[in-house]
Structure 1
Amino acid sequence: MEYEIELKLLTNEKAGEVIEKKLLSQLNASVTQETQRLTNHYFDTPDRTLRQHDIGLRIRGNNQKFEQTLKTAGKSMGGLHQRPEYNVQLDGSKKQNVDVPTLRLFPLSAWPNTIDVDDLQAKIETLFTTHFERRIYLLTFSDGNIVELVWDLGEVTSGNKSVPICEIELELKKGSTAALFNIAKRIVCLLPITIGNDSKAALGYNLCDGSPVKKFEQYQQILPKNMQIEAEEFVRLLTFLLQDFQMFSAEIRRHHSLKLAANIKQILNALVDNFEGFSHHFPCSSLKLIHMKLKTLVDDWFLVTQQNDKNAIHDVLVRAQTTQLQLDIVQCLVERPWSSNI
């Protein structure tokens, strides 16, 4: 089993050129480069057993070499994904099936107790495919950090429907997550970037079954300042709020509405209030700086929504400062700088 730690960034078709002509020269890293043309078939049952368990199952083909992969439920925090991954190389010459995954090749411990593997085997079918060119840059830094930067360009297809793939993935191979965020913040300075929360499998399911309806969840959005609160409670709530902000930001870019704008305003105000409370209970310069940047974003959001200018609203959400701020929040919640002051 591998345990991948990955940051996904959505961008445009110019990313490949910018990476090679501008980014790599800034990183001061040893670079090993490879290009692959990948085809992936994703599988599930008609009643979506795997999706209900947040499991991804695929067979990947690359130059007549095949690999079946199982990704099980993990953790996601504002675009940083951590998931267990099981990979099995397939050999067609040994009469291994390269068209449908053989589930018994994965360790039994990989499966939830609620899944009958043999029953699942009999029901799985191909739902959708992805086809894309992948440029891989393995970055080795003098401090020992190793990061794989991947640029994918292609599409997800299901029947006669398709959606584009245009994304950068940063995967930590060795070292500190700070290396991921440092590279991501450099990329944001060079390209239009938004944070990617949906995997390629999620894009495929949305293509097959339709995008799930985004609902504004009602929960306690502000923790009180006048009582002792554990840091984990702030981390949990801020993670929810950030993911809600990213979800509704993506939704309003697709379908503008005053209701979505109001939801985003409420979420931003809750982020401001909770970062203020967090820094009150756990004094830390990183928390205070994020709080100040959030207040600026709230002021800007108020102005563009008062004008009801769709283009201005879009620009605020995709501008570099907004993406940088989201990366700052995720990095802060992952690295926990307040812990050194406790």
Structure 2
Amino acid sequence: MATNKSQEIELKFMINKDSIKDVECYLNRLGKPTESLQIANIYFDTANKDLHQHKIGLRIRRWNDQSEQTVKMAGSQVGAMSQRPEYNIDYTGSVPQLDLFPADIWPQTINTRKLQEQLEAQFQIDFQRQRWLLNVGVSTIEVAIDEGVIFVPTKDTRQEPICELEAELISGNITDLLQLSELLTQEFTLAPGLLSKAQRGFILAANAVVE
């Protein structure tokens, strides 16, 4: 089973729901929209949040008839821009299988066998993703608008809406990604997304009422 490793480099912005149509029209002028996706992410950790403490995100993502498990390792963030190593593997199970990932990616303080036994779902993120592939300078950039909800299936079913714009560098250089960011922020009121969807999910889960 092949592991797809990449260095995720992206910009994330919070977008006002009322501005989405205008942003979509603007992006349609810059490039061609691709197929929209309905995505369901389930994030996993231990009861003690061992992965979250190491700034590691573990999820199963499902869309259309596809499914994969993903681990995102600790990276760096400056304002709206984040860079993180990411590993993706096609997977149809209900709980991530850690031994499918390369053994050398884990911090020495993590015992993956023990961790595997303790994994449990923490929260779910469901959203509609509209995507555009843009050519900016020498680079290819995927821009996505995500609308949906983060929810914790506990006694009080805490939930929080998602309305985000992400721009991910597929190939090329960061300069072109920043140039696109400047264009977008000049046209629209966009707030830097300082927290990832997963970080927001863990905050929501921490405040949920457990049955």
TM-score by length of 2: 0.90
Does the 8 Å contact 1:135/1:150 carry over to 2?
A: yes
How many angstroms does 1:79 deviate by? 1.8
Alignment correspondent of 1:78: 79
1:222-301 to 2 correspondence within 5 Å? none
Bigger helix share: 1
Q: Does the 8 A contact of 2:138 with 2:173 survive in 1?
A: no
CA distance in 2, matches of 1:131, 1:3: 24
Q: What is the aligned partner in structure 1 of residue 192 from structure 2?
A: 195
**Structure-2 residue corresponding to 1:150:** 144
Q: Residue 150 of structure 2: SS of its match in structure 1? A: strand
* Contact residue 4 and residue 84 of structure 1 kept, 8 A: yes
- Name the aligned partner's letter for residue 10 of structure 2: E
Equivalent positions of 1:103-118 (< 5 A) are 103-118=98-113
Q: How far, CA to CA, are the matches of 1:108 and 1:124 in structure 2? A: 17
Name the structure with the higher strand share: 2
Q: Determine the structure 2 residue equivalent to 1:318.
A: none
Contact map agreement 1:135 1:152 (CA 8 A) in 2: yes
The aligned counterpart of 1:11 is: 15
* Residue number in structure 1 paired with 2:134: 139
Match of 1:179 among 176, 191, 195: 176
Corresponding residue number in structure 2 for 1:126: 121
The answer to whether residue 202 in structure 2 is matched with residue 205 in structure 1 is yes
1:39-118 equivalences under 5 Å are 39-90=40-91, 92=92, 97=93, 99-118=94-113
Q: Runs in 1 of length 4+ with deviation above 3 angstroms?
A: none
C-alpha displacement at 1:109, in angstroms? 1.1
* CA offsets 1:276-329 (integer angstroms, 9 cap, x no match): xxxxxxxxxxxxxxxxxxxxxxxxxxxxxxxxxxxxxxxxxxxxxxxxxxxxxx
1:167 matched to 2:161? The reply is no
Q: 1:15/1:67 Cα in 2 relative to 1: closer, same or farther (>3 Å)?
A: farther
Name the count of aligned residue pairs. Answer: 201
Q: Do the aligned residues in 1 keep the contact of 2:40 with 2:61 (CA within 8 Å)?
A: yes
Code of the residue aligned with 1:149 in structure 2: it is: V
Identity %: 37
Deviations 1:251-290 (A, max 9, x none): xxxxxxxxxxxxxxxxxxxxxxxxxxxxxxxxxxxxxxxx
Higher RCO (C-alpha 8 Å, min separation 6): 2
In the alignment, is the contact (CA less than 8 A) between 1:23 and 1:187 conserved in 2? no
The one-letter amino acid paired with 2:194 is N
Q: Distance in 2 between matches of 1:192 and 1:20?
A: 14
**Quick check: 1:15–1:151 contact (8 Å CA) kept in 2?**
no
Q: CA RMSD in A?
A: 1.6
In structure 1, the residue corresponding to 2:17 is in which secondary structure? Answer: coil
The gaps in structure 1 that reach 5 residues or longer are: 211-342
Q: C-alpha deviations, 1:180-224, integer Å up to 9, x for none?
A: 2222222223322110110100010000114xxxxxxxxxxxxxx
1:326 matched residue in structure 2: none
Q: CA deviation at 1:23?
A: 3.7
TM-score norm. by structure 1 comes to: 0.56
CA distance in 2 between counterparts of 1:191 and 1:144 reads 24
Shift of 1:125: 0.1
Verify the 8 A CA contact 1:4 1:83 in the aligned structure 2: yes
What secondary structure does 1:41 align onto? strand
**What displacement does 1:15 show?**
4.1
Letter paired with 2:141:
V
CA–CA separation in structure 1 for the residues paired with 2:127 and 2:148: 4
Q: Distance in 1 between matches of 2:200 and 2:125?
A: 10
